[in-house]
Each structure stands twice: as structure tokens, then as C-alpha cells.
Structure 1
Amino acid sequence: MNTITRLVVYAIISLAFATTQGQTKELDSIRKADVDYKISNLEEEKMKIEEQEKSILKLKISKINKRLDDKEITAEEAENLKKEAAKVAALNIENRTEIVESKIALLKRNGYDSYQYRRDDNERVSISIGSGGFHIDVSGDDKPKRKPKFDRRTFGENVSAIGFNNTLIDGVDLDDSPYKLGGSGFVEWGYTLNTRIFKNTNFWRLKYGFSFQWNKLNIKDNQYFVNNDGDITLQEFPLEINKAKFRTTNLVIPVHLEFGPSKKIEKENYFRYSRHRQLKIGIGGYAGVNLGSMQKLKYKEDGNRVKNKQRGGYEVNNFVYGLSGYIGIGEVALYVKYDLNPLFKNQAIDQNNISIGIRFDTL
């Protein structure tokens, strides 16, 4: 190795260590933010413990009451079982809270310092010079995977809903609907993005995304749908029907203006808005397309069970649009949606789909 080469190598090594010191300081900052982020998650977990245990206790008591109603146990035995269940719930809350608090205390006491000590002992600087160029890597066993973003104005949520479904028909009361009120239902599943509208408050949010909607009508009075040259009517089935169901599948883009209070959680390197157990109200609508329709009939013919499925051919509107809204606390809300478009197109009497149920927005 000649003198010029040695000088170049020494210069590269000096630059490497200078750069490594800068990277080390940045990693220390990232690690501290990572510890703060973990502590914040543990604080939220601690808040949910009592609610979870109370839900479990409520379920246990419900089962005990059912056993009492069925006369499997006496009133005295039921009371003792309830006391035991309440005692277990109280101990679970106490123990689980202590565990989370211990984790928080451990992170606060050792989180950053332990990163620093492990870095001094375990981290190694790798320097390579080759065809790929000059590369420096600071590695260690406890290198954090990611740095919490200082401010997240947009985040994603899974959306699911389930409930009752029916139609509003011109001149017909809902009580006189040709569809069973209890047997007709809907299911919705989708994904939304939740964006904070204003910089310094989370009171107003915009929610938008996509959803699949399955709307089912359970037809009563031994009737079924018939297409007579584009005229969709309910007619008496020639045999006795066990079940007659009509289902539509839609893909829609929902948009809601959501508003409600939030709790601001501030840390040294980031902040978040928490809507845990906070009131929320959403008002908006949706638009999309119909993906298909199907009528399903179950009946007996000559002593044999018959299942008849007919897909398409019912003049269902291809374009779907409507209004929707919800009100709730935290992840759960009462949900209503109403199709402004008639279920069937070009009919003498319009009927519009309406759904009422429970909606879940989860991270």
C-alpha cells in the first residue's frame, strides 16, 4: 500500500468514526422515543383492564343466573358463585394492573439507560469499501425497529357493522312490509382512513375509504320475486317455501364528517390524540356499485329438499348511493344507512333499502 493509498484509507476511517458519532446521537434519540412510545401503549392498556374484567364478570353472572333459572343450582349457591366471580375479577384487575405498572416503572427506570449500556457493550461499527461504495452500519442487539412519527394526522381503521335490514316502500308501513323484520339483516366490512382536519384540534375528522355491503331481505307469506319483462313483483310460490331470501352485494366509498372530543397525549418526541371511551358522531354518505344479486329458495318437492339459487336478472340498480350516520363511544356506535336509490330500477312503486345496527371502528 503506497503513501497516497494509506492517506486515503486513514481519511475514510476518520470520516467513518465522525459519521458514526452523529449516527449514535440520532439512535439515542430514536431509542428514547421508542421507550416513550412503549410507555404510552402500556398506559392505554392499563386503562382498559377494569373494563375488560367487568365485561367478563357480567358474562359469568349472566350464566349463573341462567343456571338458577333452569333450577340447576339454588339461590344460595348462585349467590356464592357470584361472590366468587366478583372476587376473581377484583384480584384480576389488581394483579393485571400491578403487572402493567411494573412494566411501566421498569421502562422509566431502565429504558433509556439500558439502551445506552447495551450500546456501549454490544454495538459494533462495520465499515466496508468495495464496488458498492462506502458503507457504515451501526448495529446492536437492541436497535429500535422504528421511530414514532411526531404527529399522525391520518391513520387507518377497520370498519365492520351488523344489524337489521328492510326497505321503505311508498304507501306501505314498515309493520306491513313483505319482508321479515327480524330475519332480514345486513353485514358491512371495510377500511377507512381517519384524517384530522385542523392542525391543533382533533374535534373534527374526515373518514373515507371503501366498504362491502351485504343487504339481505327475508321474504315472508310464501312469496318470492319474479321478473315479468322488467317488472319485479312478489308472487305466491306454487309449493310451500321453507326459506325465501334475496341478497344484494355492493361496493361503496363512504365519506363521513366525524366529530367529538379527544384526549391529547403529549410526549417529548411525539404526541397523539386518543378517542378511547370518547363520544363520537359521524354524518355522511356513500356511493358505489352493485356487484350482484341473488334469490335463494328452500322448499320440498316430491319429498325431496330443494335449494334454488338464482343470480342476477332482478333489475337491481347498478349505481348505489345513500346517506349514513352513527353515534357512539370509543370503538362502538349505533349505525344507520339509507339507500337514496331504489332497490329495483324503473318500477311503478319504489322501495329503498334501510339498515340499522352496530358499527365497530378498530385500529
Structure 2
Amino acid sequence: MKTITFYVAALLCLCATRLHAQSFQERAAAIANNIEQITKQEKDSLKSEVEAVNTQLEKNEITKAEADAKKQQFAELRAKNIETRVAAEEEKLSQLVKDKVDGKIKNDRFHIFINGSKDTTKTKEYSYKRTTSQFVFAFGVNRLVTDDKIDNDNFKWRSDFYEWGVSWNTRILKNNNLLHAKYGLSLQYNNLRPDNNMIFATDGGKTGLVAAGRDLDMARLRYVNLVIPAYLEFDLTKKQVNGEKTYFPTHKSVRLGIGGYTGFNVKEKQIIKYREDGHDVKLKQKGDFNVSDFVYGVGAYIGYGEISLYAKYDLQPVFANNEIDSNNLSLGIRFDLN
């Protein structure tokens, strides 16, 4: 099972060297943009391939069964391409964060000026800009809400989520630090872990839990969403006055954010582990589990400094065609590394 390291030690800041090297945030944002482009390219290619198959079917060049088989083959190929290409970008991000933690990407929280005269006193000029950037990382537990009730009977408490991305924080008022607009780009990894030896299966275009017919070590459905979050943030950090200059730092006191997100599904797969004839077996099922193509939801966080309690709720049902809607509720901890 391939996992992503929890990026809790990364800092976002500008790299102000004479060589004008890219900042940590800029490189992370570029990787996130690459993932978005990969998904779009593969989905556009799949759409073209499906349209070509439909044209063949309309001309009676192939049967409906052959058309369905071709569509399934193309869908599996594109899903595999997305997973492989996205995994390469995730590896780049992992190395970028490691370089940041190891000090290979220098921090530049302030500028230093040295007087040209014999007086060599160093003066710090803090550069708190109206718009700052952060690396966002969050993790916690997932719960499905079905028929207005949290389903604790069919899912293990270890159903979890983690989220990483980049965000920008803009002070709304010129001379007041209370209100901020926070927006960015994030990948949300949602894991649903059925209990009692159950697995997810599709039947007639609907997705539900069925008995696996054997003792399972683990079953997990993972679906990944690429989203654009937007929050109104209240930051109680006090302004700083240095002589005639006033600065407005962020993430130094109590913060409260209220907002939401919208985006689309990137990939989905089910992983099943069990023992058979004394051997460990790991089965990966890729394809269409009828997870909704688009997602939108509401979220909120409250905390101090760069750490917050975090909650989000998908208003779009997890599965597109089920008669009874199931919505995902996530509770966890969020890091906004400034």
C-alpha cells in the first residue's frame, strides 16, 4: 500500500536569493497544477475514446457488448494512467518537503540591510504582505451520514482522511487584521473502511456493501477529490508597530474559518487484504464505484496559530446513483504552515 508522508513539518515562505530561486510554495503549487492538468488530460482523452466507440456503435461496426467492453478497457487504462502519473507528482512533493525539512530550501522571513558606512548594525525589516501563502495539511476520521444518521455499525473507526494543498490568505481590510479571504487548491484523500468482512460492490449502477465471503484483514475504498476551498477567516492576531510603520502578521493568535469547497473526483479504488492457504493476498479493484464526479461541501476550522480543529461535510452524496444518499463527514486537525 502506497501512502503519503504526513507533511506536518513544512513551512511556506518566499525564497529571496539573488538567483531568484522558486519558493517552496511556488514549487508546491506547480506540482498541484500538474496533478490537475494530468487529470484533465486523461479525462479528455477518455471522453474522445468513448465518443469514437459510440460512433462505431451507431454505424453498426461493433455490437453493444463490444462497445461496452471497449469503454471499460479505456476507462481502466485512463484510471491507471492517472494513478501512475499522479503518484510521480506526489513523489516530487515528498522530496520537496524533505528538502525543506533538511534545510536545503532556505527560509526568508525577513530582509536584512547593512549600512554602507562604518556602522555595521543589522536592521530587520519584517515583510508581512497583505497576501501570504501557506502549505495546508490536515488529517482525521471519516464518517458516512446516511438517512441523517452517522453510520457507526458498518464502518470501522479507522475510516480516515488526509488533505494537502496550498492556500493564499488575503487581508480584506487595508488597516484592520480581523477579516481574511482564504482560498487555494487541495487534494482530499477519503478512506472508507467497512467492518464485519464487508466490501463495496456495484449492482445495477448502485453501490453498496456486500459480504466478502471470507475473513478479511482489511477492506478500504479510497476516493480522491481535487478541490478549490474558499473560507472567510477571522484572525485575532494583533498588529505590530515599529516606529512609523505598521505590520499585520497572521497565524499568531486565535483563528476561525468558515466556508466551503468545490471540485471533482480524481480517482477511486478498493483495496482488500486477506490470507489464503497461508499466504497474504492483496487485491486492488480499480474502476467505477459510482463515486460522484463532482463534489461540493462546507467546512470550518478554529484554532490558535498554525494548528486548528477542522471539520468538513460533503453536501454532494458520495455515490451518484444510490436511492438513499450517503454524505461524508470529516473531523480532524489542520495545519496552515505560514
TM score, norm. by length of structure 2: 0.62
Say which structure is richer in helix.
1
Amino acid at match of 2:273: K
Question: What is the rounded CA distance, in whole Å, between the counterparts of 1:302 and 1:279 in structure 2?
Answer: 56
Q: Once the 2 structures are TM-superposed, how far is the Cα of residue 340 of structure 1 from its aligned partner?
A: 0.3
**Alignment partner of 1:169 is 2:183:** no
Residue 200 of structure 2 is matched in structure 1 by 225
Aligned residue for 1:117, secondary structure, equals coil
> What pairs up with 1:292-311 in 2 under 5 angstroms?
292-311=267-286
Contact 1:216–1:246 (8 Å) recurs in 2: yes
**What is the aligned partner in structure 2 of residue 330 from structure 1?**
305
The structure with more radius of gyration: 1
Distance (whole Å) between structure 2 residues aligned to residue 148 and residue 361 of structure 1: 20
Per the alignment, residue 20 of structure 1 pairs with: none
1:158 and 2:159 are equivalent in the alignment: no
In 2, the alpha carbon distance for the partners of 1:173 and 1:280 equals 28
Q: Provide structure 2 residue ranges, at least 5 long, that are not aligned to the other structure.
A: 1-111
- Quote how far apart the aligned CAs of 1:300 are: 1.9
CA distance in 2, matches of 1:334, 1:147: 33
Letter in 2 for 1:162: F
Amino acid at match of 1:345: A
- 5 Å matches for 1:33-112? none
CA deviations on 1:60-106 (whole Å, 9 max, x unpaired) are xxxxxxxxxxxxxxxxxxxxxxxxxxxxxxxxxxxxxxxxxxxxxxx
**Percent of matched pairs sharing the same residue:** 41
Work out whether residues 114 and 122 of structure 2, in 8 Å CA contact, stay in contact via their aligned partners in 1.
Answer: no
Q: Is the 8 A contact 2:144 2:150 kept in 1?
A: no
Letter in 2 for 1:157: Q
The partner residue of 1:179 within 155, 167, 170 is 155
Residue pair 1:190, 1:210 contacting (<8 A) in 2 also? yes
1:307, CA displacement in angstroms?
Answer: 0.4
CA, structure 1 residues 153+223, in 2 after alignment: closer, same or farther (shift >3 Å)?
A: same
| Counterpart residue identity of residue 260, structure 1 | D
What is the CA–CA distance in structure 1 between the aligned matches of 2:150 and 2:166, rounded to whole Å? 35
Q: After superposition, where does 1:173-322 map in structure 2 within 5 Å?
A: 173-176=150-153, 178-181=154-157, 183-268=158-243, 270-275=245-250, 277-322=252-297
Q: How far apart are residue 277 of structure 1 and its match?
A: 4.2
Distance 1:264 1:172 in 2: 44
Residues 147 and 333 of structure 1: CA distance in aligned 2, closer, same or farther (over 3 Å): closer
Instruction: Encode CA deviations 1:89-127: one digit per residue, 9 max, x unaligned.
Output: xxxxxxxxxxxxxxxxxx9xxx855x42279xxxxxxxx
Q: Deviations over 1:280-317 (max 9, x none)?
A: 11000000011011100001223322100112210110
SS at match of 1:297: strand
Moved over 3 A (4+): 146-149, 171-175, 268-271
1:69 paired residue number: none
Amino acid at match of 2:309: L
Partner of 1:116: 117
Report the alpha carbon displacement of residue 169 of structure 1 after superposing the two structures with TM: 0.7
Distance 1:358 1:334 in 2: 5
Indicate conservation of the 8 Å contact 1:223/1:237, yes or no.
Answer: yes
Contact 1:206 1:257 in 2 (8 A): yes
SS of the equivalent of 1:202 reads coil
The answer to whether the Cα contact below 8 Å between 2:143 and 2:150 also exists between their aligned partners in 1 is no
Provide the residue aligned with 2:57 in structure 1: none
Structure 2 CA distance for partners of 1:171 and 1:327, relative to 1, 3 Å: closer
Contact preservation (8 Å) 1:190, 1:212: yes
Q: Which has the higher contact order (CA 8 A, sep 6+)?
A: 2
For 1:348, the equivalent position in structure 2 comes to 323
2:43 corresponding residue in structure 1: none
Q: Check whether the contact 1:148–1:270 (CA below 8 A) recurs between aligned residues.
A: no
The one-letter code matched in structure 1 to 2:184 is: G
Counterpart CA distance in 2 for 1:313 and 1:259 is 40
Which secondary structure state, in structure 1, belongs to the residue aligned with residue 118 of structure 2?
helix
Q: Tell me the distance in 2 between the aligned counterparts of 1:263 and 1:206.
A: 17
Return the alpha-carbon distance in structure 2 between the equivalents of residues 276 and 291 of structure 1.
Answer: 31
Q: Which moved more, 1:318-327 or 1:293-302?
A: 293-302
Q: Which runs of 5+ in 1 are unaligned?
A: 1-106, 120-141
1:196-232 per-position Cα deviation (integer Å, ceiling 9, x unaligned): 0011101000000001110111110100011112121
Output the CA distance in 2 between the equivalents of 1:279 and 1:143. Answer: 32
Letter in 2 for 1:320: V
Residues in 1 aligned to 2:333 and 2:132: alpha-carbon distance in whole angstroms: 22
For the 8 Å contact 2:269–2:286, the answer to whether it is kept is: yes
Question: Contact 2:292–2:316 at 8 Å: present in 1 too?
Answer: yes
How far, CA to CA, are the matches of 1:279 and 1:148 in structure 2?
21
Q: What is the distance in 2 between the residues matched to 1:335 and 1:159? A: 12
